[in-house]
A = this chain, B = another copy of it.
Amino acid sequence: MEIRIMKNILDRNQNKAEEVRSLLKARKVMMINIISSPGAGKTTLLERTCEAMAGEVRMGVIEGDVTTDRDAQRLKKYNIPIVAINTEGGCHLDSNSISKAVEHFDLDALDLLFVENVGNLICPSQFDLGETFKLAVVSTTEGDDKPAKYPMLFSEARAVILNKTDLIPFTNFSMDSFTTDMATINPGIILIKTSAIRGEGLGEWFGWLRLQLEEFSAG
């Protein structure tokens, strides 16, 4: 399937988030805005999710990247619709770009639209794209102090994927500090621990994702 490449449209005077949200709700497409630091494992998580669920759930991806379309290329093999947004140095995606990108999908042939935001723990958490919910991905190698130091994302997200759990034994990561700080910021947040590269914990992620899709389509 062809990857469509767009530029990011930053327009401070226009907020298309509610328009996007209404459109997707009417067309029964759930949209997840995935936010993480560079290299936390967003694309690997999407690869595993495509492999496991693309036969059962009709999914598409909007890929945000600062310069390249490398992440979009990594997902091409799953034969799902992909729109790549090149921000040309911009540090986050914007609801205007998402609104334009959504026009390129056949929404009647979709159940789930992932947005892989630009690798950045700060700016993307401050912008509503019209998503159903935000998903934070954070890796253990970034340290256990990320919820305390970057609280905005953790207060905004419905769930956190804590990735690279296979590397915990080789770091000074404290699960106790991590979960305590996170619970202070957002007591209701869902925590799913994975090693996307080794396949660990992914069953829990797939199960939770199915539940969100059921709840979304119910209403």
In the complex, A151 has a CB within 8 A of chain B: yes
In the complex, A139 has a CB within 8 A of chain B: yes
Q: How far is the CB of A80 from chain B (nearest CB, A)?
A: 21
Query: Which of chain A's residues 111-166 have a Cβ closer than 8 Å to chain B?
Result: 118-123, 126, 139, 141-143, 145-146, 148-152, 164, 166
In the complex, A172 has a CB within 8 A of chain B: yes
Which of the candidate stretches A5-13, A21-29, A61-69 sits at the interface with the other chain? A61-69
**Per a CB cutoff under 8 Å, which of B68, B70, B149 touches A65?**
B149
Q: Is the CB of A143 within 8 A of B39?
A: yes
Q: How far is the CB of A119 from chain B (nearest CB, A)?
A: 7
Query: Which of chain A's residues 54-98 have a Cβ closer than 8 Å to chain B?
Result: 65-68, 70, 89-91
On whether A91 and B170 interact (CB within 8 A), knowing A141-B39, A149-B66, the answer reads no
Q: How far is the CB of A78 from chain B (nearest CB, A)?
A: 19
Interface size bucket, A side? Answer: 35 or more
Query: Which of chain A's residues 162-215 have a Cβ closer than 8 Å to chain B?
Result: 164, 166-167, 170-172, 197
Q: Whole-angstrom distance between the alpha carbons of A78 and B70 in the complex?
A: 43
Q: How far is the CB of A137 from chain B (nearest CB, A)?
A: 12
In the complex, A37 has a CB within 8 A of chain B: yes
Q: Is the CB of A67 within 8 A of B141?
A: no
Q: How far is the CB of A122 from chain B (nearest CB, A)?
A: 4
Q: How far is the CB of A143 from chain B (nearest CB, A)?
A: 4
Q: Is the CB of B38 within 8 A of A68?
A: no
Residues on B with C-beta less than 8 A from A170 are 166-167, 170
For A144, the closest partner residue in chain B by CB is: B39
Q: Is the CB of A141 within 8 A of B164?
A: yes
Q: How far is the CB of A56 from chain B (nearest CB, A)?
A: 28
Q: How far is the CB of A39 from chain B (nearest CB, A)?
A: 3
Q: Is the CB of A89 within 8 A of B148?
A: no
Residues on B with C-beta less than 8 A from A67 are 148-151
Q: Is the CB of A39 within 8 A of B38?
A: no
Query: Can you give 9 A-B contacts (C-beta < 8 A)?
Result: A39-B142, A66-B150, A66-B152, A67-B149, A70-B145, A89-B122, A89-B152, A90-B122, A170-B170
